[in-house]
Chains A and B, each alone.
Chain A
């Protein structure tokens, strides 16, 4: 308890943003309890109503309650972007550690692929991959993952290279430590803080990219409650019912701000240079 109080006192901004992020996650988790209506129930006689006491954010062209849809959108958006960040973090780190530790052909192949991805605007390939694989949320996540893992691979590789020739690694090898043990107990913990910071600051960016793909029609499909898709659906009704594009956009904006702030403050907490 005392330790926790000390941590809060030392890192007040991180704690505030962590609580805010948890609040956003709580909205996603408890969306069914918080929603005032069924987000998928279309009442056509009630279409495109402006915000009112009954429908706080108004209703969309199908007469669905926008407030409930925005809440459920948090589920779609958070699930997709958090799993995306996890995928690229795990895959990129593993490939990077392997490339850095073993070197040789493996390193050459992994790094040339990563060169290829970096010398190319990622969003173009992501759009192409998502479009070709077929438009749905899973494919959108796969598409962005394919073009984004290289950052983590490069990072992990450079961190491994930094310590690979240190004496304690040589000592571990000489005393007969298994390679898997060295990778797991020495290489990974060494790379982890930097990787985690990068991952945390990436959540917001990934959220924007997923919403962007959905907005273009290459991500979530109707009738899913997803903010990018909702913006796209509301676009046609902009003149008469601007609330359709105000609230989902605001939801993306707030969530991205919270996660960006959290990422930045996590960097301040974990960065060893701040000790």
Chain B
């Protein structure tokens, strides 16, 4: 990626982050319910009107809206995302502690998904119109129509409750606790990716170089693995980047089902307890991570495929 493009992208990221931060700040302001009252209610006391006012003053909640926003934003730029009142800890610290478990879960589910999707997609493409293709396509269709929270519940019921092979609650560490959540996440993604691999493969198989290689008598196996596969995985990389980004933000449902201590379940907790600084910090973090991953994907794309580099 050329330097000018890179700078343009970075500028875009800054603008989007700015917009997202303003949007979430507005939203938390419009939200019904009084955060100060909720804060005291969480600690189990019913404060008098004066104490409420004093706290508001101390937290800067009596300032005009824009002043509050600028104050908060300045804090964020200095790495201070405020303090979560429901956990009584700095927001940045909480988010950082939950980032690693979610990242681990996301990577494991992506790996599981690839192990299933790539062979199935290739099988489907190379046997186009055959029974295998038909079966795989029906399976992917069912896969995209299944709600992932239901898949999660069924897996939990079968493997944890009935067969007692795996733990019901995924709290704490340990690989076995990540299996069910990861399989659940991989399930729906695998359906989407199998279709993608199939399309990409079919497209490559129609290229002239494949016909050329066949004419030269090169074995079909060699053509597939040495030539077609590397060419068709390239578009997958962009998708993988996007998936990793949305997994980091969107695993809430699965994390809740398996009581997995990640970013998603933290966000759900934050929203149910009206912990505004935590919600704002979470949304901003996810936006940043998501966009940085996309940028890295685009850069790596240019490195892997020189044609894109030349085009700028």
Q: A125 and B147: CB pair below 8 A?
A: no
Residues of B within 8 A of A124 (CB): 249-250, 252, 267, 282-283, 286
Q: A253 and B253: CB pair below 8 A?
A: no
Of the residues B19, B30, B147, B290, contact of A253 by C-beta under 8 Å? B147
Q: A253 and B286: CB pair below 8 A?
A: no
> Main SS of chain A's interface residues?
helix
Q: A116 and B149: CB pair below 8 A?
A: no
Q: Kindly provide the distance from the CB of A139 to the nearest chain B CB, expressed in whole angstroms.
A: 10
Of the residues A116, A121, A256, A260, contact of B250 by C-beta under 8 Å? A121
Q: B294 and A257: CB pair below 8 A?
A: no
Q: A123 and B24: CB pair below 8 A?
A: no
Check: B100 CB closer than 8 A to any chain A CB. Answer: no
Nearest A residue to B24 by beta-carbon distance?
A: A128
Check: B222 CB closer than 8 A to any chain A CB. Answer: no
Question: With A119-B16, A127-B267 in contact, do A132 and B150 touch (Cβ < 8 Å)?
Answer: no
B contacts with A, residue count (CB < 8 A): 49
Residues of B within 8 A of A212 (CB): 147-149, 253
Residues of B within 8 A of A31 (CB): none
Complex: A211 Cα to B146 Cα, angstroms:
12
Q: A116 and B16: CB pair below 8 A?
A: yes
Q: A211 and B294: CB pair below 8 A?
A: no
Check: B161 CB closer than 8 A to any chain A CB. Answer: yes
Q: A215 and B144: CB pair below 8 A?
A: no
Check: A50 CB closer than 8 A to any chain B CB. Answer: no
Q: Kindly provide the distance from the CB of B296 to the nearest chain A CB, expressed in whole angstroms.
A: 14
Q: B249 and A133: CB pair below 8 A?
A: no
Check: B111 CB closer than 8 A to any chain A CB. Answer: no
Of the residues A123, A208, A253, contact of B252 by C-beta under 8 Å? A123
Q: B156 and A131: CB pair below 8 A?
A: no
Complex: A256 Cα to B188 Cα, angstroms:
14
Of the residues B16, B20, B279, B291, contact of A131 by C-beta under 8 Å? B279
Q: Kindly provide the distance from the CB of A70 to the nearest chain B CB, expressed in whole angstroms.
A: 13
Complex: A204 Cα to B28 Cα, angstroms:
30
Residues of A within 8 A of B16 (CB): 115-116, 119-120
Residues of B within 8 A of A84 (CB): none
Of the residues A112, A129, A252, contact of B147 by C-beta under 8 Å? A252
Q: Kindly provide the distance from the CB of B132 to the nearest chain A CB, expressed in whole angstroms.
A: 21
Of the residues B20, B28, B31, B272, contact of A116 by C-beta under 8 Å? B20
Q: B157 and A215: CB pair below 8 A?
A: no
Check: B311 CB closer than 8 A to any chain A CB. Answer: no
Chain B contacts with A in 255-290, Cβ cutoff 8 A: 256-257, 267-268, 271-272, 279, 282-283, 286-287, 290
Chain A contacts with B in 175-217, Cβ cutoff 8 A: 204, 208, 211-212, 215-217
Complex: A129 Cα to B279 Cα, angstroms:
10
Check: B59 CB closer than 8 A to any chain A CB. Answer: no
Additional pairs, 12, CB under 8 Å, beyond known A128-B27, A128-B283, A252-B147: A119-B16, A120-B16, A124-B249, A127-B267, A133-B32, A212-B147, A216-B253, A216-B268, A217-B272, A218-B271, A238-B161, A260-B141
Q: Give A contacts to B, CB under 8 Å.
A: 112-113, 115-116, 119-125, 127-129, 131-134, 204, 208, 211-212, 215-218, 228, 231, 235, 238-239, 242, 245, 249, 252-253, 256-257, 260-261
Q: Give B contacts to A, CB under 8 Å.
A: 12-13, 15-16, 19-20, 23-24, 27-28, 30-33, 141-142, 144-150, 153-154, 156-157, 161, 245-246, 248-250, 252-253, 256-257, 267-268, 271-272, 279, 282-283, 286-287, 290-291, 294
Sample 7 A-B pairs with CB under 8 A, ordered by A number: A115-B12, A120-B287, A125-B283, A132-B27, A133-B30, A211-B149, A245-B153
Can you list the 4 inter-chain pairs with the closest CB atoms, starting with the nearest?
A131-B271, A249-B150, A121-B249, A124-B249
